[in-house]
Structure formats: structure tokens, C-alpha cells
Chain A
């Protein structure tokens, strides 16, 4: 459903994403992991069509995001890590606006707005300006906006940041339900327990390159690890010694 073909992105002379090739099959909940600055957000923003790749291409449902952007983006719902929204709109107005961007309006949209606000417990805030929402409420509103047009694919960057445990649980159930109905989710997260519990497949990126990809069993096989959890596997792949050094420094300091 999402295909990345030799995707590369340079910022000046710095290579943020280096020749990444990845295939996210339809109906999969795919985890995209990596340390800070590894290139996760840049990759996801290229998939969403926000950034232009330096080379390579992104296909969503067979449509190239840069050559046939309207068809590709119509399938997509993107949830960014930082909830920047129009602060002077109300929650309902914002959702109506996003639906409009996807060419949708009318009673069906109004019903969908009510449904989503109800699910995310924002109904009481429906007609309040977004500037009075908390960080978590804005994040819930953005998640609602990614679902308003009933996308086939959701690309989500750090979905759990700012969410309370109840909303985090709701989101996990929502993703599971979405995937079981044939939807596809590509999710970047630092919460490895969530990735391990939710994701069918996982890709780990470091220094702009994919260092491992597959199911948990395949990852263990690739790294010749025994019966270890995702956290140990992640640390092994992305610089375990550095993490140990950090722990030593912190212990020394205390």
C-alpha cells in the first residue's frame, strides 16, 4: 500500500534519509522506529507529500505522491507529532475545513464530525476556539481530522505524545480496528512496548538508513538474537553501548 523506492533526502550537504526502500502491505500496522534524528519524521513527511524527496519516490496505493499528488493524498490521513492548528477556529469548524480539503461536505460530514468528537470526548468543546484546548485535546482533534475523510492509509508520527492513558488506549483500539477493516497504518513511535504489542511488522532506521525490517521473529533472525524483547533488539541495532554509557553517567551523577 505504501512503497518507498530508494528514497533520499538531503538538507544542504546533510543526508537525512539515505536510499530507503520499504514496502508497507495493505492491512498492516507497521512500526517505524529509530533514535532521535534518525530520519523518521523526514521520511513520514515525504510520504505525506509535505517534503519533496531529493531522489527516489513514494507510492501510495500505486500513485506517486509527487506526480499524482491528488490521487495519492486522497487515500492518506496524516497525523504530525506537533499539533499546529488554526487556533481561531472551533473544533467543529476545523474538522469541517479539513473535510472540505478532501472535497467532502454536507450532512454526512456533519454526522462524522459529531461521531469523531464523541469518540475523542471533545463534544463539549465542539464550539470552543482551539486556542483554549490543551495540548492533548489538540492532538485528539488532529487525529480526528486525519480520520474525517475515511482514509485508506494513516501515517502517524509519535501518536501517543500528549495523550492521557484513556485516549492512548482508545487510539490503540482505533488503529487495530482500522487495520482489521483493511486499512494500513505506518506509525513512528519511541514507545517500544506499544510497537511490540501493536505492530505486525517493524522497520528500524538509523542515520537515515533502514538497518532492519520485518516481523519480530524476522528481526530476531536478522540480528541473530535469541529470545529478547524489542527494547533490547532496538538498543542492539541502534547503539546499545552508547545507552549503557548514558546510564553510567546518570548513575555517577546521582
Chain B
């Protein structure tokens, strides 16, 4: 506890400072969003579990299976997350020099750092399980003791992946240098995540919901009882929880959970005392690399020449930093997977299965697709454009002491983010409209709107990134998950909703004319709505950029 004292004291002081600087509003927004999320998960699960409960014979089996599968997915996420977090907390953290040079027992360091790793990597999963267990407790009438049972089973469940993750990292660092391991891990983690998404989508889980998919009840029960291993901690938690809820508490899984967690910590501590020092020494090695960089200068230097020396070098610098940081560029893998899934979903829509495709259904899907595409673009902007200002943080001394205009800085950041986003936006919109066989009118509306929206989303991402900068962060991938990232997403969703509502007026006019087989009459209302969309999007581009510039001018370092 003493070892972690500086950490929690820092957290407390930061919370106090937040409160003093009017951070209460921020806390309220976070709490409301969190509660809404909890309520949504709780609500959906409540309905599902109530339905299961109504199914005779196999209801409890289904509920147990659902819990077991959820916990299995949690444990996979926890394992990956612990491996990555352990790398920072055990090998790259700033307090390690002090700790390792102090006369502190290695086992104490291990326990403290294990606790830190567990907390950092598991808090999100722990929060996620609250509405899940709550729904089980309500449907199966768990009573007041249920929270204790749930906590008692879930705590060792969290400890196990933390120990295994830390031990894996310890072994990996002993083989590779820590900084190389980080690159390797972020690549593996994102590749695995992308693979899971693709696999999940390609097996088309929605088919399981079709009753005609099952031949008989026996087949279904066999599938339910089949795969999960009795050796998995997720199965032990399920057995404990479902046993308690069913009125027949089975103590063996609980013993297994606690004894395995205890044994794992002891084995982890032994491994730590044997291997940590060598690993820590190796972690001090840099990931030295010999880089020519001439290709960038050759390929893009000439192309960007008209921009002038300052802007050209700035753009080149941003691109080099992006593609040399594995934690950043590897996110493109995930992005590619999401894009494939997106197009796959559009293709899988049951629009062209009947004999005659209703023209207006296609048009409505094509129109609403704008909102979905906008949301995808906002998520990408949150990943890649939102952190742009924060990433300059420590080097701001250089930019501020040079004669570079801050406008040029903002300009470079804006276009470096916007151009790839624009290409992607156009690709998504054109491809989906082609897949949907949308009319030229809908294609034109879609393309023009998405261009305007992309320009605005980019500007909003940059502006919120400047308004809520994270200069102290060491990992760029964590910046989008901050409070500012949340506010950006909320603002963007509002913009998307406003644009769709305004544009629904001319789209409705077009559909009505097409439905009545009349020629399209371009009314002033239609033109006014399109003009309003242009005004809203241009406003949502220029105003945030101006605010961002003002904010950057006020930064003090």
C-alpha cells in the first residue's frame, strides 16, 4: 500500500483540483453517460433473462450459458489488457527507478504493481459486470446477500488474468526489449481484436435467432451444454453464481477460484523474484533503429513543395510520427476490419431477397446510412484527429518559440487528418450506395452531405482535442477515451442528428414525388433545407477551428 501511496495521493489531488476548477459539471456529464449506459445494458439483459425464465426446462441453462459466454469474453479481454498494462506498470513506469533503487523487498514491489495492473486493466470490465449481475439478481431474486456472492466470486476472477498477464509480460520482456515488446503486443492485440470482429461478423450470429435454423430442441440443448471447459475460471464463476441464484449453492467452484488465485499470486511472485531484475535491465534498452527517412522526403517532399518550408516540414513530421508509432498506425488494422464489417452489413441487408425491391426502402436506408457513416467517421476522427494537439504537448516549447504561425500548425493538423478521412468517407458512401443500388439523386445527396459532414467532424475533433488536451499521457491510444473524447462524440452525434433532420425535408419531397410517379419539383423549401445544411456544416467547421486556434494561443508550458 505504501508503494502505491504516491499514485493514489496524486489521483486524490487531481480530483480536488478538478473540483476546484469547476470540474463538477464534467463529473455530472460522466455520471449521466455512465448511468445511461448501465441502464441500457441492464434493461436489455433484463428483457432477455425474463424471456429465458419463461422458457421451460432450458431457461436456466440459457441464462447460465449467457453468463458463461460473457465471462469468457471478459477473461479474454482482461488477459490482453493485463499483458499490455503490466508492461507499463512493471517495466516502463516513471516510479520504477526509485522503487528498484530503494531497499524494498521484491515481493512487495510485485504485489503493489500487480494491484496497480489489476486496477488499471480491470476497472472497465468490473463496471460492466455491475448491470449484468444486477439483472441476474433481479430476475432470479438474488436477495441482499447476492452482491457479496458476486463480489466474492468476481474478485479472484479478476486476479487470475492479472497474474497470468503480468507473468506473460515478464517472460516476453526477458526475451525482447520492453519497447519492442510494446510494439509487438499492440500489434498482436489489435490484430486479434480485428480478427475477432471479422470472425464474429462472418459467422452471422443473427442467423441463430431464426427458429428455423434449429432442427430440434435436443440439438439446441446439446449445443448449449457443449463447449466451455470446466477448467476455465469463467465457468467457476457461472457455477457459483447460478448455483446461488438457483438455491443450490455449490462451494467447490468458489474454493477453486480462491485457491487458484492464491496459488497464481504465489507462483507469480516466485517468477517475479527470479526474472524481474534481468527483465528490468533489458527494459532499459532502447528500441534503437536506423532510419533513413529519405523515402518520405522523396515521395512527399516534392508533392508538398508548394506549401512552403514550414507547412511542408510540419505535415511530413506528422506523417512520419504516425507511421513510426506502432501504437498509432496499428489502429488502422482495426479500422480496416470495421470497414469490411460495415460494408458486409450493408450487403447482408435483406433488401434484395424479395421479387420487387421497394424503391423508397432503399432510399431511406441510403439516407439513414449517412448518419451511420457519420458515426463511423466520428469514431475514426476521435482515434486519429482528436489526439493531434495533445501529442504536440511536450514539444510545444519548440513550436511556440519559433516563428511558425499557430494558424499554420492548425491548418497542417486539420488537413493531415481530414484528407484521409474524406477519402474514406467518400469510399463508404459511394460503395454503400452502389451496393444499395440507390438513385442518382440519393447518391448526390449522400456524397455532398458526407463531404460537408467530414469537414465539420474533423474540425470538431481538432477543437475538442485542443479544449481538452492530455499533454501528460504517454500512450496516444488512451487520449480518445478521455472526457474530451466523450464530449466530442456527443457533439458530433448532435450535429449528425441536426443534419439528418433538416435533410429529411427535401428527401421526403423527393420520395413523395417518386412514389406518386410525378416529376421532382425543386421547391424553395427543398433548396432552403439544403442551404441550411451547408450553413450548419460550414459553421460547425469554422467556429470550432477558430475556438481551437484561440485555445492553442492560450496554452502555457
Query: Does A209 have its Cβ within 8 Å of any Cβ on chain B?
Result: no
Given known A89-B321, A100-B309, contact A78–B394 (CB-CB < 8 A): no
A129 to B310 alpha-carbon distance, docked (Å): 21
Query: Does A84 have its Cβ within 8 Å of any Cβ on chain B?
Result: yes
What string of 1s and 0s marks CB contacts (under 8 Å) between A78-99 and chain B?
Answer: 1010001110111011001111
Q: Is the CB of B403 within 8 A of A102?
A: yes
Q: Is the CB of A50 within 8 A of B557?
A: yes
Query: Does A49 have its Cβ within 8 Å of any Cβ on chain B?
Result: yes
A49 to B403 alpha-carbon distance, docked (Å): 10
Given known A69-B403, A103-B403, A105-B309, contact A131–B395 (CB-CB < 8 A): no
Q: Is the CB of B288 within 8 A of A93?
A: no
Query: Does B144 have its Cβ within 8 Å of any Cβ on chain A?
Result: no
A102 to B291 alpha-carbon distance, docked (Å): 24
Q: Is the CB of A90 within 8 A of B293?
A: yes
Look across to chain B and name the residue whose beta carbon is closest to the beta carbon of A44: B401
Interface residues in B391-420 by Cβ distance below 8 A to A read: 394-405
Q: Is the CB of B293 within 8 A of A85?
A: no
Query: Does B308 have its Cβ within 8 Å of any Cβ on chain A?
Result: yes
B288: chain A residues within 8 A (beta carbon):
128-129, 131-132
A84 to B394 alpha-carbon distance, docked (Å): 6
Query: Does B298 have its Cβ within 8 Å of any Cβ on chain A?
Result: no
A243: chain B residues within 8 A (beta carbon):
none
Q: Is the CB of B401 within 8 A of A127?
A: no
Query: Does B94 have its Cβ within 8 Å of any Cβ on chain A?
Result: no
A interface majority secondary structure:
mixed
What string of 1s and 0s marks CB contacts (under 8 Å) between B288-332 and chain A?
Answer: 111111000000000000001110111011001100110000000
Query: Does A48 have its Cβ within 8 Å of any Cβ on chain B?
Result: yes
A69 to B553 alpha-carbon distance, docked (Å): 12
Q: Which of A50, A132, A145 contacts B396 (CB 8 A)?
A: A50
Query: Does B556 have its Cβ within 8 Å of any Cβ on chain A?
Result: yes
B401: chain A residues within 8 A (beta carbon):
48-50, 73, 76, 78
A111 to B402 alpha-carbon distance, docked (Å): 21
Q: Which of A51, A103, A129 contacts B291 (CB 8 A)?
A: A129
Query: Does A22 have its Cβ within 8 Å of any Cβ on chain B?
Result: no
Q: Is the CB of B321 within 8 A of A48?
A: no
Q: Is the CB of A73 within 8 A of B289?
A: no
Q: Is the CB of A70 within 8 A of B291?
A: no
Query: Does B22 have its Cβ within 8 Å of any Cβ on chain A?
Result: no
Query: Does B287 have its Cβ within 8 Å of any Cβ on chain A?
Result: yes
Query: Does B213 have its Cβ within 8 Å of any Cβ on chain A?
Result: no
Query: Does B211 have its Cβ within 8 Å of any Cβ on chain A?
Result: no
Interface residues in B507-557 by Cβ distance below 8 A to A read: 554, 556-557
Given known A84-B395, A86-B317, contact A132–B309 (CB-CB < 8 A): no
B320: chain A residues within 8 A (beta carbon):
88-89, 93
A100: chain B residues within 8 A (beta carbon):
309-310, 312-314
Q: Is the CB of A128 within 8 A of B403?
A: no
Q: Is the CB of A131 within 8 A of B286?
A: yes
Q: Is the CB of A74 within 8 A of B309?
A: no
Shortest CB distance A55–B (Å)? 15
Look across to chain A and name the residue whose beta carbon is closest to the beta carbon of B393: A84
A85 to B394 alpha-carbon distance, docked (Å): 8
Q: Is the CB of A74 within 8 A of B310?
A: no
Interface residues in A178-223 by Cβ distance below 8 A to B read: none
Shortest CB distance B550–A (Å)? 13
Q: Is the CB of B290 within 8 A of A128?
A: yes
Interface residues in A48-74 by Cβ distance below 8 A to B read: 48-52, 69-71, 73-74
Given known A48-B401, A50-B401, A51-B557, contact A129–B313 (CB-CB < 8 A): no
Look across to chain B and name the residue whose beta carbon is closest to the beta carbon of A75: B403
A85: chain B residues within 8 A (beta carbon):
395, 398
Query: Does A104 have its Cβ within 8 Å of any Cβ on chain B?
Result: yes
A251 to B402 alpha-carbon distance, docked (Å): 47
A92 to B313 alpha-carbon distance, docked (Å): 12
A127: chain B residues within 8 A (beta carbon):
290-293
Look across to chain A and name the residue whose beta carbon is closest to the beta carbon of B400: A50
What string of 1s and 0s marks CB contacts (under 8 Å) between B40-66 and chain A?
Answer: 000000000000000000000000000
B309: chain A residues within 8 A (beta carbon):
99-100, 103-105
A80 to B401 alpha-carbon distance, docked (Å): 10
Interface residues in B267-291 by Cβ distance below 8 A to A read: 286-291
A101 to B405 alpha-carbon distance, docked (Å): 9
Given known A73-B401, A89-B320, contact A103–B290 (CB-CB < 8 A): no
Q: Is the CB of A129 within 8 A of B324?
A: yes
Q: Which of A52, A88, A93 contacts B556 (CB 8 A)?
A: A52
B395: chain A residues within 8 A (beta carbon):
84-86
B312: chain A residues within 8 A (beta carbon):
100, 105
Given known A89-B320, A131-B287, contact A96–B313 (CB-CB < 8 A): yes
A104 to B317 alpha-carbon distance, docked (Å): 15
B396: chain A residues within 8 A (beta carbon):
50
Given known A51-B556, A97-B313, A101-B313, contact A70–B403 (CB-CB < 8 A): yes
Query: Does A26 have its Cβ within 8 Å of any Cβ on chain B?
Result: no
A78 to B316 alpha-carbon distance, docked (Å): 23
Q: Is the CB of B405 within 8 A of A70?
A: yes
What string of 1s and 0s marks CB contacts (under 8 Å) between A27-43 and chain B?
Answer: 00000000000000000
Most chain-A Cβ atoms within 10 A of its Cβ — which of B310, B312, B396?
B310
Shortest CB distance B506–A (Å)? 46
For the complex with contacts A49-B400, A70-B403, 6 further pairs of A-B residues with Cβ separation under 8 Å are A73-B401, A73-B403, A88-B321, A101-B314, A105-B309, A128-B289
| B interface, CB within 8 angstroms of A | 179, 286-293, 308-310, 312-314, 316-317, 320-321, 324-325, 394-405, 554, 556-557
The 9 closest A-B pairs by CB, nearest first: A100-B313, A132-B288, A84-B394, A48-B401, A101-B402, A78-B401, A132-B286, A88-B324, A73-B403
21 CB < 8 A contacts A-B: A52-B554, A69-B403, A70-B405, A74-B403, A76-B401, A78-B401, A84-B395, A86-B321, A88-B320, A89-B321, A93-B320, A97-B313, A97-B316, A99-B309, A101-B310, A101-B313, A101-B399, A102-B402, A105-B313, A131-B287, A132-B288
